[in-house]
Amino acid sequence: MSDNPETHTLTVRYFAALREALGASESVALPVGQTLGQLRDALIARGGRHAELLARGRALRCALNQVMADEATAVPAGAEVAFFPPVTGG
């Protein structure tokens, strides 16, 4: 997807069980000024596995550019967002 003045493209990475179901990463176009929570809602709205695995009833952590962040955090252009379960082993 190409950038325009109203959207920007970012990379969404998935870890643990999310990675197994959704793949390692994907590029997503997001309206400028949106938050991590709004990104999550947009991914849920896709339906299917995204809706199931990112559902609001599921506990998930998120990071913005490799720093833990809450869902109220604005997503800047070119950001890398990661979603993962609260506890990951390894």
Q: What is the pLDDT of residues 64-87, one digit of tens each?
A: 999 999 999 999 999 999 999 987
pLDDT in tens, 4-46: 569 999 999 999 999 999 999 999 999 999 999 999 999 999 9
Q: Which residues contact 20 (CB under 8 A, 6 or more apart)?
A: none
- Is pTM beyond 0.85? Reply is yes
Q: Set out the domains of the chain in order of their start, with CATH numbers.
A: 7-84 (3.10.20.30)
Confidence check: pLDDT of 90 > 60: no
pLDDT band of residue 1 (cuts 50, 70, 90) is very low
